[in-house]
Amino acid sequence: MSTASITPATLISLPDDIICELFFALAKVDVPRRASTQNSPRLFDDFAEDRHPSLGWIRLTHVARRLRHIGIDLPTLWGRVVSIFPSARETTFARSRNAPLDLYLGQNGFNAYSHWPIATDALLARARYIQDVVHPDARGWWVDTSLPCLEILQIEIKDTVLNESLALGQVIAPTLTSYGIYGGFIPFHAPSLQRLVVGHKVVWTTLVDSLRTCPFLEMLVITDTREPSEPAPAAAEPVELMHLTTFRLTIPSSMSALKLIECLSVPASTRPEIKNCTSLILFRNVVQRDTLSGYNALSISIERTGDAFSFHRVEANVSKRAHTTFDAYRVRPSTGITTIHSYFSYDHALPHLLGGGFTPEAACRFDTLVFYSNLGASNALLPPLSASGSALANIGSKLRAFSGITTLYVQRESAQLLLAIRDTIEKSVDEMPYPSLKTIILDVFTSHLDASLWDGIIDLLLYRKGYRCPLERLVIMGSHLCHLSPDASDGSEALKTIDLRPVEGLVGEIVDLREGEACTCGAV
């Protein structure tokens, strides 16, 4: 089926109001703009699109005389045009008439607009969008300034030795909807604010005072928080943000972040998203909050750093997961609460995280436990568990707190976790550990599983059946779960074909999702 192309003649024949709507639609899709500078902060990516050089909808004014006549008579759009050359700025300013303006201030500040026939105060009064890089001690145009038209404000504070006691004033903007600030924090009064991004370690009480003025806030993204220089009130009055849908802390490092979280009253469906939390105490306190009871999955990975000291980097993520397919467990969660820590000792890394990051009440709420493998600096896959018996016993004792686990996903490098669980069951005399465990997913796709490890997994299944609590299903996945690597004590280098027959009577079902049809690796 052929489609008719839109020709200039077709556009010219449209009514004026339709052509005007076309211009405004194009202005949203392709705004006339200048290129982003190399040093522009990436902080504002949450609500600001990349700015590539473009003439945008202005091109349409060159298609036909009638389109040019209508396009030139759209002051709202001309006020948003960004020009580099003075003559072009004068043209766009004249065509904008009294419409709101987009202002891009740089090193020269308002001197860049000095040739315009308008005073700075009047220019600010018409500003719809302001992007600026400022040194607060040298330029503070927002102080005692009326900003009645301002909708979007982006500020980068350039001061490597910023005096935190410096009075930065306050931004007062009744129509402001998006505010992003990097390198510092300027308080604000913005009753229409919907999106706020703060790329700075902000005093949490100062932030709360500003948040009280914007009840319609929908997105809040903060790098980190800190305590005020003066003692804060014992219990700050809650701030209601009932429209908030996104609440993110990107690098929280202290308990002041928890004070901020507890001070905000948000919808039950809005849970804080915490990235790269460096405080295990903060992580522990956030995870144990009742409002996070819907976060049912714990995902853990460990990798060795590439420096000379060879730290072990442990990452734990708490999130909400409800998968309909088993291979979906391979995908690492991108939301939720994440903590990252480094340890010298390989054996103590995981026990410290499990014991210090979760209260018993929080641990028993999880029904899904996922262990991932990571490539180290030498591209060697590292298991998150040590081979030593004492380390496995320590891990097993910490894991017992996670008694509500129903689904366990492990990869080859983390399969020793199953031995820790096996040993815990073997030594138990009073009750069955992990009574809710129903599904184990074994995913082997990097290299073959050791034969002794496979024997240990069979022992685990045997113990559970002996306790009259057999596993409902064993899911086997991956391209390398066709053969087993021989044990070093065997003195043989030949791969062994994996035998599923001993497993068949120990579990309710075996879900075989192994990749490939005809395996030939056994002949290698």
pLDDT for 361-398, tens place per residue?
A: 999 999 999 998 754 444 445 555 555 678 888 888 89
CA dist 27 and 348 (Å) reads 57
**Residue 267's pLDDT is what?**
92
- Most confident segment among 142-156, 208-222, 285-299, 339-353: 208-222
**Residue 519's pLDDT is what?**
67
Which of 309 and 215 is assigned the larger pLDDT?
215
CA dist 390 and 396 (Å) reads 10
Span 31-40, average pLDDT: 55
Return the minimum-mean-pLDDT range out of 17-26, 54-63, 315-324, 433-442: 54-63
- Angle 313-318-320 from CA coordinates, rounded to 5°: 145
Return the residue matching tokens 């999130």: 319
Domain ranges in the chain are 1-85, 294-524
Question: Confidence class of residue 19 from pLDDT cuts 50, 70 and 90?
Answer: confident
DSSP per-residue letters across 342-401: EES-HHHHHHHHHHHH--HHHHTT--EEEEE-EE-TTS-EE-SS-SSHHHHHHHHHHHTT
Residue 26, CB-side half-sphere exposure with 13 Å CA sphere: 20
Q: Is the pLDDT of residue 38 over 50?
A: no
Q: Is residue 349 packed enough to be buried (19+ CB in 10 Å), middle (13-18) or exposed (0-12)?
A: buried
Which of 99 and 264 is assigned the larger pLDDT?
264
**Residue 187's pLDDT is what?**
94
303 in helix, strand or coil?
strand
- Most confident segment among 99-108, 445-454, 486-495: 445-454
Question: Confidence class of residue 190 from pLDDT cuts 50, 70 and 90?
Answer: very high
**Residue 92's pLDDT is what?**
80
**Residue 368's pLDDT is what?**
95
What pLDDT digit, counting tens, does each position of 479-489 carry?
A: 888 888 887 66
**Residue 375's pLDDT is what?**
44
**Residue 193's pLDDT is what?**
98
Question: Confidence class of residue 33 from pLDDT cuts 50, 70 and 90?
Answer: low
How far is residue 16 CA from its own chain's centroid?
45
Question: Confidence class of residue 40 from pLDDT cuts 50, 70 and 90?
Answer: very low
Question: Confidence class of residue 13 from pLDDT cuts 50, 70 and 90?
Answer: confident
CA dist 227 and 24 (Å) reads 46
Question: Confidence class of residue 441 from pLDDT cuts 50, 70 and 90?
Answer: very high
Rounded to the nearest 10°, the torsion over CA 518, 471, 315, 44 is 80
Q: Is the pLDDT of residue 52 over 90?
A: no
Q: Is the pLDDT of residue 499 over 50?
A: yes
- β partners of residue 263: none
Cα-based distances in Å from 427 to 396, 398, 400, 424, 455: 11, 15, 12, 5, 18
224 in helix, strand or coil?
strand
DSSP summary character for residue 264? E
Q: Is the pLDDT of residue 206 over 90?
A: yes
> What is the overall mean pLDDT for the chain?
82
**Residue 418's pLDDT is what?**
92
**Residue 382's pLDDT is what?**
52
Cβ neighbours of residue 468 closer than 8 Å, sequence gap 6 or more: none
Which of 308 and 312 is assigned the larger pLDDT?
312
Q: Is the pLDDT of residue 460 over 50?
A: yes
**Residue 280's pLDDT is what?**
93
| Long-range interactions of 482-491: CB distance < 8 A, separation 24+ | 482/514, 482/516, 482/519, 482/521, 482/522, 483/448, 483/519, 483/521, 483/522, 484/448, 484/449, 484/450, 484/451, 484/454, 485/447, 485/448, 485/449, 485/450, 485/451, 486/451, 487/450, 487/451, 487/452, 490/451
Cβ neighbours of residue 177 closer than 8 Å, sequence gap 6 or more: 151, 152, 192, 193, 194, 195
Neighbours of 515 (CB within 10 A): 13
- DSSP H or E stretch at residue 463: helix 451-466
User: What are the backbone angles phi and psi of residue 418, rounded to the nearest 5°?
Assistant: -65, -30
Burial code (b: 16+ CB inside 10 Å, e: under 16) for 317-336 equals bbbebeeeebeebbeebeeb
Span 274-294, average pLDDT: 87
Question: Confidence class of residue 491 from pLDDT cuts 50, 70 and 90?
Answer: low
Question: Confidence class of residue 49 from pLDDT cuts 50, 70 and 90?
Answer: very low
Return the minimum-mean-pLDDT range out of 35-39, 246-250, 290-294, 310-314: 35-39
Q: Is the pLDDT of residue 509 over 80?
A: yes
Q: Is the pLDDT of residue 35 over 60?
A: no
Which of 330 and 91 is assigned the larger pLDDT?
330
CA dist 141 and 120 (Å) reads 9
Whole-number percent of the chain with pLDDT over 90: 40
CA dist 148 and 191 (Å) reads 12
Question: Are the C-beta atoms of residues 173 and 194 closer than 8 Å to each other?
Answer: no
Span 112-128, average pLDDT: 81
Task: Provide the token pair at 469.
Answer: 């609590």
Question: 340: closest CA among 276, 391, 384, 396?
Answer: 276
Whole-number percent of the chain with pLDDT over 70: 80
